[in-house]
Amino acid sequence: MSKRLPNRDTDFSAWYTQVVNRAGLADYGPVKGTMVIKPYGFQLWDNIKESFDRMIKATGHVNAYFPLFIPKSFLAKEAEHVEGFAKECAVVTHTRLKADEAHGIVVDPESKLEEEIIVRPTSETVIWSMYKKWIQSYRDLPVLINQWANVVRWEMRTRLFLRTSEFLWQEGHTAHATAAEAQQETLDILELYRQLAEDYLAVPVFTGVKTDSEKFAGADKTYCIEAMMGDKRALQAGTSHNLGQNFAKAFDVKFQTKDNQEELVWATSWGVSTRLVGAVILTHGDEKGLRLPPKIAPIQVVVIPISRNEEQEKAVKEYIEPLANSLESAGVRVHQDWSDNSPGFKFNEWEMKGVPLRMEVGPRDVEKGNVVVARRDTSEKSFLSKAEAVTQVPELLDEIQKGLFDQAKQFRDENTHIVATYDELKQIIKTGGFVRCGWDGTDETEAKVKEETKATIRCIPTDENPEGLTCVHSGKPAKHEVIYAKAY
RNA sequence: CGGGGUAUAGCGUAGUCCGGUUAACGCGCCUGCUUUGGGAGCAGGAGAUCGGGAGUUCGAAUCUCUCUACCCCGACCA
């Protein structure tokens, strides 16, 4: 394997695959399209997960767990829902294997199930079948439940973290007494997603609402956060759905109001997945590999000791120990690399893994009472005294967090263009970037643009202003201002 | 499910057209010594029934048949 990464600008896709592999994040599993998340990748996911878990708990949500298996009939209860997921479901049809002389192990035909079981592609149906039992009165509302789980969608074409047959996510499922409350919940969660993306992952996002053709199967409205990746393509990084009364109708979930009326419950659902890890890589990665935002980096500071002999090694060790301890007690995640690789190798290795700060400690530093601190984001090196290091490392981490966000935001803004004509749109989509322009609100226009340019409407941004705009494709007055882009 | 390809060591490949002795190379791995402030050097070593099966032949990674798996391009998608 070559030591150099593929060129990020000309061969983005190959670059991505190599970074994921060589940073030790993930690998494909034995069943096609499945992903093995390796320890380093999982720590990254875990940090993202913990961040969001704190956010939802602080807003009154609670965690629970619902089963992986769903009766096939459940999926069919909501017409749009089944249509949306039918083509990508894993189905359990049998419950036993048996030994067979000719073929080794075969499925035992006698164990065929009466009703096949679906492996959840999402959990609305199983959850609403339970909500029917749990909700009778307005006193039972709202129900604000989240679960961390795996789901299976049998995808044709997969890519590590971005699209795999099985993925990890959180899915929130809430039940409310009024439409207004459900709508408020949908938007509140969207805001939490924006914060997660921007404040933790340092990934700037547009918030907005999906067009009918792109919305979740079974939702009234789908809100989303959309981010621009390093190759100027769009990535849907999270969705929050207002499900209206669709699932309440399908599962007959009604409650009694204060004045003794019977009403259908209002619902939301929302999710973010391991795809966020992909978003971080694709947003911040550079020609040396990963660059991780400090808030979610498994390791924030890696210490590289340098020594020529055992005596020096001992001195360096004694020098590092108290320093590492005080950083750790200041809440910094520190790792010392005492492996017997050469220093140069370690530098490259940890740069590939995206560790925000590298601290070099060798005989020269021990002598002078210094450390060398190198930033991953800017490659800046500074010589700090031991005491300075303890106070400045947390500050540097904050700066890097902010720096990564600012850089990503600048890149996105430079590549987001407001256009008035279809020719301009085609030109920008061709060279890459987001296009903001008018849309007449029809499915036909959306489909035509997709067919002709491969760009889709990513969302109708929250801050849209359709006043006076015309649709770039049909020339009719615009119903909305939208963002077109090629998407992952 | 349509169209096109590929299968040789843990990974990446050469060799296949035109059959010929012990299957070659790079990375990685193991051992030892020397190294260590930007991907270390030298020496030695382990590792492959050439995707499976059948056939042609004195002889098959190489030719024929067959099965299987995977990859790329389309439709689907958090």
Q: How far is CA A456 from CA A109, A259, A446, A487, in A?
A: 45, 47, 7, 7
- Does any strand B atom come closer than 7 Å to the Cβ of A348? yes
For residue A51, give every residue at least 6 positions away whose Cβ sits within 8 Å of its Cβ, in sequence order, or none: A196, A200, A295, A296
CA gyration radius for chain A? 26
- Does any strand B atom come closer than 7 Å to the Cβ of A7? no
Comparing A90 with A459, the larger pLDDT belongs to A459
Please write the tens of the pLDDT for every residue from A314-339. Answer: 999 999 999 999 999 999 999 999 99
pLDDT, average across residues A93-119: 83
Please write the tens of the pLDDT for every residue from A402-421. Answer: 999 999 999 999 999 999 99
Q: Which nucleotide is closest to the Cα of A214 by its C1'? A: B77
**What's the confidence (pLDDT) of residue A27?**
87
Straight-line distance from CA A220 to C1' B30, in Å? 62
Q: Nearest residue to B73 (CA, C1')?
A: A157
- Does any strand B atom come closer than 7 Å to the Cβ of A450? no
Check residues 239 to 258 of chain A and report those whose beta carbon is under 7 Å from nucleic acid strand B: 239
- Does any strand B atom come closer than 7 Å to the Cβ of A316? no
d(CA A49, CA A61): 15
- Does any strand B atom come closer than 7 Å to the Cβ of A13? no
Check residues 109 to 148 of chain A and report those whose beta carbon is under 7 Å from nucleic acid strand B: none
As a dihedral over the C-alpha atoms of residue A215, residue A42, residue A90, residue A251, rounded to 10 degrees, the angle is -50
Residue A355 has pLDDT above 50, yes or no: yes
- Does any strand B atom come closer than 7 Å to the Cβ of A288? yes
- Which range has the top average pLDDT, A89-98, A130-139, A449-458? A130-139
**What's the confidence (pLDDT) of residue A104?**
66
Straight-line distance from CA A1 to C1' B48, in Å? 19
Q: Which nucleotide is closest to the Cα of A33 by its C1'? A: B70
**What's the confidence (pLDDT) of residue A463?**
96
Q: Which nucleotide is closest to the Cα of A87 by its C1'? A: B76
pTM of the model: 0.95
Transcribe A409-462 into DSSP letters.
HHHHHHTEEE-SSHHHHHHHHHH--EEEEEE-S-HHHHHHHHHHHS-EEEEEET
> In what helix (H) or strand (E) does residue A128 lie, and over which residues does it extend?
helix A124-134
Tokens at A315, concatenated? 């001195």
Within 10 Å of residue A99's Cβ, how many Cβ atoms?
9
- Does any strand B atom come closer than 7 Å to the Cβ of A236? yes
Check residues 390 to 449 of chain A and report those whose beta carbon is under 7 Å from nucleic acid strand B: none
Residue A155 has pLDDT above 60, yes or no: yes
In chain B, which nucleotides are within 7 Å of a protein Cβ?
1, 10-12, 26-28, 35-40, 69-78
pLDDT, average across residues A277-302: 96
Start-to-end CA distance of chain A, whole Å, equals 27
Q: What percent of chain A has pLDDT over 70?
A: 99
Q: Nearest residue to B72 (CA, C1')?
A: A157
- The amino acid occupying position A318 is E
pLDDT, average across residues A92-111: 80
**What's the confidence (pLDDT) of residue A11?**
83
Q: How far is CA A157 from CA A154, A163, A217, A311, A458, in A?
A: 9, 8, 20, 55, 20
pLDDT, average across residues A5-28: 88
Q: What percent of chain A has pLDDT over 90?
A: 83
Comparing A55 with A11, the larger pLDDT belongs to A55
Residue A101 has pLDDT above 90, yes or no: no
Comparing A152 with A31, the larger pLDDT belongs to A152
**What's the confidence (pLDDT) of residue A281?**
95
Q: Please, which pLDDT band fits residue A102 given cuts at 50, 70 and 90? A: low
Transcribe A327-375 into DSSP letters.
HHHTT--EEE--SSS-HHHHHHHHHHTT-SEEEEE-HHHHHHTEEEEEE
- Does any strand B atom come closer than 7 Å to the Cβ of A105? no
pLDDT, average across residues A388-404: 97
Q: Please, which pLDDT band fits residue A1 given cuts at 50, 70 and 90? A: very low
- Does any strand B atom come closer than 7 Å to the Cβ of A342? yes
**What's the confidence (pLDDT) of residue A14?**
84
Please write the tens of the pLDDT for every residue from A223-248. Answer: 999 999 999 999 999 999 999 999 99
3-state secondary structure of A46: helix
**What's the confidence (pLDDT) of residue A2?**
60
Straight-line distance from CA A340 to C1' B72, in Å? 41
The DSSP output letter for A220 is: S
Tell me if A367 sits within 8 A of A383, measured CB to CB: no
Chain mean pLDDT for chain A: 94
